[in-house]
Structure 1
Amino acid sequence: MDGAPTDTTHLDWGNVGLGFSFILFNGLISTSLQLGVGSSLLSAAIRCVVQLGLVALVLQKVFETNNPWAVGSIACLLNLLGTIEAVVNKSKKRYNHMFSSVLFGMLCSTIPVSIIGIRFAMAVDPFWKPEQYIPIVGMLCGGTISGIVVSVSYVLREIYDNRDKVEMYLAFGASRFEACRPVAREALRLALTPTINQMRFVPSKIQAISNSVFTLDNSVIGIIAIPGMMTGAILGGSSVQQAARLQMVIMFMISASTALASIITTITTLAVVVDSEDRLRPDRVDVREHPVWRARNWLFSRAVDGVKRTVQSCRGLRREDRQNGAADTERLLG
C-alpha cells in the first residue's frame, strides 16, 4: 500500500439528509403500492444513522489516541458483539457453553489472521494502526459470523432433527469422529460457500436464478458489482490498482478467518453433542428461544398484565364511586 489515503470527501449532515431523501422516496413507493415495507425501511434507516454515528464517534476517539491497547480493546469488543449476534440473534438452536466456544473460535481466527494479513500481506508497520486494523477486524468478524452460524446450525439440525444416520454409524461401532465426519464435512462446505460466492462477486440470489433459469457469466457480474472495500479505497483517494490489490487481500483474509472459525466451532459443537463415550446427546441442544428473548417476553407480559390490572382497578373505583353517588342521591331523595 502507498500509505493512508487522503480524505477527499467533505460531507455534513445536510448531505446525509439529502441521501435520506432516497429512503423517503422508497417509503413513498411502498405506501402507494401497498408493499408494507415503508415503516421497516424507515426504522432501519434511522437505526443505520444512529449506529454509524455512534461508531464514528467512538472510532474517532480511538484514532486520535493511536494507542495499541485501545485498538486491541475495540478488536475484542467487535468479537464479543459478533458472538452475541451469532448466539443470541441468529441461532435457533444452541448447545451448552455455546457462547464461550463461539467467542473462542472468533478470537482464534480473526485476531491471528488480521495481524498476519495486515503486517505482511498489506505491509503495514505497525500492524495495529487504528485506521487500518479496526476496519479489517470488523470485516473479518462480519464474514466469520455467517460461517459460524451456517456450520453450527447445520450440525445441530443434523444431530437433533436428523440423527438417524449418526446413530446408525455409532451402533455399528464407529467412533464419534468417524460418525460425525460426514456432518462436519457438509457443515464446513456450506459455511464456505458464501465466501466463495463473495470472491466471485456474484450475489447469492442472482446466482441461484442464473443456475436455474439463465446463463450469466460470473466475470461480467464481477465487473459490474465492484466490491465495497475497493469502492471505498477508490473514493478515499487510492489508485485503482492499489484498491483492487487491497480488495484481493481482504477477501483472502475473510476466507481464511471464516474457514478457521468454522472448523473450530464445528469441532467444538460435535464434541459437545456427541460425548466422549460415543453417545449422541440431543439433551444438550436447546431449541427454545434464547434466555434474553424469554426474559424480554416475560417482562413485556408482566408489564401488560400490570397495565391491565391498573386499568381494571381504575374502572372498579369509578364504578364504586358511581354506586356510592347513586346511593347518596337515593338517601337524599328518600
Structure 2
Amino acid sequence: MNGNYYAIDIWGLIAALVMVAIAAGISETMRMGVGRTLLWSACRALLQLCAMGFIMEYVIRSNNPWLVLLLVAFMLIAAVQITLSRAKGVPKGLAGPVFLSLVVTMLIMISLVTELIIRPQPWYAPQLVVPLTGMLLGNTVSALAVGLSRFFESMKERRDEVDTLLALGATTWEAARPSIVSSIRLGLLPTTASLASAGIVAVPGMMAGQIIAGGNPIDAAKYQFMILATIAALTLLADSIIMLMVYKRCFTALDQYQPVNG
C-alpha cells in the first residue's frame, strides 16, 4: 500500500492479462470469433492507459490551457475514428457529421459543467477538464456507434414500410422517424441502466476513488451524479444531432428510398 491507494505489481498485471486470455480461450473454444479481438483490445488498452497516464500527469503539472485544448482535440479526433470503426453497416463519409456532433455536444456540456456547476479556477483546470472529457467521450462513442448501426439496419429492415409511407405522401423525416427513435433508444440503454443502478448495484469509479482518497462521501456522490447526468444529456443530444445529419443519406434527391452500402 502506498498512501491512500494499493499499488499493482507486475504479477497482479500478469494475472489480469491471464484472465483476459482465459476469456479469449473460452471464446475460441465456443467459436464466437472474438478471442483475438479481445486479446488485442486488452493489450491496446493497457498501452493506451499507461501513455495517457503520463500525458495527463504532464498536462496537469504544466497547467497550460493550450496543452489542455490540444489534448481535448486529440481525444475528439480519436473518438471519431473509434466510433466509425465500431459502427457496422454504415456508409462512408460520416467522419464529418460524427466529428461535428461530438464537438457541438462536448462544447455545450463542458461549458455548462465548468461555468454553471463546478466553476473551477482557472476555467481550463486540467485535473477536471481532461478526465471529464474522457469520461463523456467514452460513453458517447459507444452510444453513437450503436445508434448509427441500429439506424441503418432498421432502415433496411423497414424498406417496404418506408417505400409505402413515401408513396402515401409521407416526408422522408416521417418515413425515417421510427428508425431514428429506435436507434436513439438503443444508444441510451446503457446510460439509463447506469443511472438506475448507480449507488445500488454499481459503485462508480470516480465516486469510489474520491472516497478512498479521503474525500467527503456527499461531495463524491454529487460529483458522480453530475457525471452521470451529463453523460445522459450528452448521449441524447449527440445521438439526436447525428441522426438529423445522416438520415437523409437513405434517400435520393427525389425523396426515394435508396439502400446504403456499408
Pairwise TM-score range, normalised by the shorter structure: 0.7 to 0.9
Q: Structure 2: where are the runs of 5+ without partners?
A: 30-34
CA distance in 2, matches of 1:266, 1:139: 22
Structure 2-normalised TM-score? 0.86
How many angstroms does 1:259 deviate by? 0.7
AA at the equivalent of 2:251: V
Contact kept, 8 Å, 2:20 with 2:42, in 1: the verdict is no
> Cα–Cα, structure 1 residues 126 and 195, in superposed 2: closer, same or farther, change >3 Å?
same
How many angstroms does 1:24 deviate by? 6.2
Q: Deviations over 1:130-186 (max 9, x none)?
A: 010010011110111122112211211122343111111101111112212222222
From the CA coordinates, give the structure whose radius of gyration is larger.
1
Counterpart residue number, 2:250: 273
Structure 1-normalised TM-score? 0.69
Counterpart residue number, 1:83: 80
CA distance in 2, matches of 1:36, 1:150: 22
Q: Does 1:17 align with 2:14?
A: no
Contact kept, 8 Å, 1:227 with 1:247, in 2: the verdict is yes
Identity of aligned residues (%): 26
> Cα–Cα, structure 1 residues 45 and 167, in superposed 2: closer, same or farther, change >3 Å?
closer
AA at the equivalent of 1:77: F
How many angstroms does 1:37 deviate by? 7.1
Contact kept, 8 Å, 1:71 with 1:128, in 2: the verdict is yes
AA at the equivalent of 1:279: Q
CA distance in 2, matches of 1:37, 1:127: 49
Picking from 236, 240, 261, the partner of 2:217 is 240
Picking from 56, 59, 62, the partner of 2:59 is 62
Q: Deviations over 1:12-65 (max 9, x none)?
A: 6xx33142253266479x49xx73679867765543432211111212221122
Counterpart residue number, 2:203: 226
Contact kept, 8 Å, 1:115 with 1:127, in 2: the verdict is no
AA at the equivalent of 1:19: G
Determine helix, strand or coil for the equivalent of 1:128. Answer: coil
- Output aligned runs, 1:251-330, within 5 Å: 251-282=228-259, 285-287=260-262
Across the aligned residues of Structure 1 and Structure 2, the Cα RMSD in angstroms comes to: 2.7
Q: Does 1:97 align with 2:93?
A: yes
AA at the equivalent of 2:245: T
Determine helix, strand or coil for the equivalent of 1:248. Answer: helix
Contact kept, 8 Å, 2:89 with 2:149, in 1: the verdict is yes
Q: Which moved more, 1:116-125 or 1:248-257?
A: 116-125
Determine helix, strand or coil for the equivalent of 1:124. Answer: coil
> Cα–Cα, structure 1 residues 234 and 11, in superposed 2: closer, same or farther, change >3 Å?
same
How many angstroms does 1:97 deviate by? 2.2
AA at the equivalent of 1:242: D
How many angstroms does 1:278 deviate by? 1.6
Q: Does 1:53 align with 2:45?
A: no
Contact kept, 8 Å, 1:201 with 1:227, in 2: the verdict is no
AA at the equivalent of 2:100: F
> Cα–Cα, structure 1 residues 237 and 286, in superposed 2: closer, same or farther, change >3 Å?
farther
Contact kept, 8 Å, 1:119 with 1:125, in 2: the verdict is no
> Cα–Cα, structure 1 residues 262 and 223, in superposed 2: closer, same or farther, change >3 Å?
same
Counterpart residue number, 1:196: 192
> Cα–Cα, structure 1 residues 176 and 127, in superposed 2: closer, same or farther, change >3 Å?
same
Counterpart residue number, 2:32: none
AA at the equivalent of 1:59: M
> Cα–Cα, structure 1 residues 62 and 223, in superposed 2: closer, same or farther, change >3 Å?
same
Determine helix, strand or coil for the equivalent of 1:35. Answer: helix
> Cα–Cα, structure 1 residues 103 and 42, in superposed 2: closer, same or farther, change >3 Å?
closer
Q: Structure 1: where are the runs of 5+ without partners?
A: 1-6, 203-221, 288-334
CA distance in 1, matches of 2:41, 2:89: 26
> Cα–Cα, structure 1 residues 275 and 36, in superposed 2: closer, same or farther, change >3 Å?
closer
Picking from 172, 182, 196, the partner of 2:178 is 182
